[in-house]
Structure formats: C-alpha cells, structure tokens
C-alpha cells in the first residue's frame, strides 16, 4: 500500500508539470519529490511519469492512478484532520 504523501507528490507534479514547482508547493526538496515518485513507481510497478530535462508528463498509468486515488487521499487527509482535533492519529 502506498502512502498519502506519494500520491500527493504525483498530484503536485501533474498539476505543475515540473518537479521543482511541485516540491515548492509541498514545501519539500526536488530530490524528495523525485524519491517519492520513484518509490511510488516501484510500488505500483509501472512508470508514472515521462521525464525529460525540461518537461515532466504524467503517463496514462499515472493519470489512471491519480483519477482513482486522489479522492481517497483527500478523504484520508480530512479524517486525519478530524482525528488531530481529538488528539488521535490515522496510520
């Protein structure tokens, strides 16, 4: 099972089309975003991004993963916020 942070990294890369801007949006380093994407690709067993020196494009598999998982990630974040308000944690 992949983590929320990995899917959020893919979503931000998709949104910004650039690892540097995605990293900035998540307040992370570019290398961390790159590691997150590599880890997610390893976990799902398919390439999620086409990377070049100038452009990063989400593959069809990456788009499919985003379409199917972003709502779940958003829901998990919402639940975590509710639990945080009560001093609990979602793992």
Q: What is the residue range of 41's domain?
A: 4-85
Neighbours of 73 (CB within 10 A): 19
Task: Write out pLDDT tens, residues 19-74.
Answer: 999 999 999 999 999 999 999 999 999 999 998 877 899 999 999 999 998 888 88
| 78 assigned to some structural domain | yes
Is the pLDDT at 87 greater than 80, yes or no? Answer: no
Class of residue 31 by CB neighbours under 10 A (exposed 0-12, middle 13-18, buried 19+): exposed
Record the pTM: 0.82
Find the CATH number of the domain harbouring 33. Answer: 1.10.10.10
* Higher local confidence (pLDDT), 63 or 1: 63
**HSE of 28 in the Cβ direction (CA atoms, 13 Å)?**
18
Confidence at 90, pLDDT banded by 50, 70, 90: low
Question: With contact defined as beta carbons under 8 Å apart, do 57 and 17 qualify?
Answer: yes
Domain tally, the chain: 1
Q: Which helix (H) or strand (E) holds 72?
A: helix 60-85
- Residue 91: predicted pLDDT: 56
What is the model's pLDDT at position 31? 96
> Do you know the residue count of the chain?
91
Distance, in Å, from the CA atom of 84 to the CA atom of 2, rounded to the nearest integer, reads 21
Domain membership of residue 18 (yes or no) is yes
Residue 91 within any structural domain of the chain: no
């Amino acid at each position: 099972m992949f983590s929320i942070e990995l899917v959020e990294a893919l979503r931000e890369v998709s949104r910004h089309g650039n690892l540097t801007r995605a990293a900035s949006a998540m307040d992370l380093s570019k290398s961390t975003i790159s590691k997150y994407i590599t880890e997610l690709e390893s976990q799902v067993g398919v390439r999620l991004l086409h990377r070049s020196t100038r452009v990063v494009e989400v593959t069809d598999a990456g788009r499919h993963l985003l379409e199917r998982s972003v709502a779940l990630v958003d829901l998990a974040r919402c639940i975590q916020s509710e639990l945080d308000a009560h001093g609990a944690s979602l793992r």
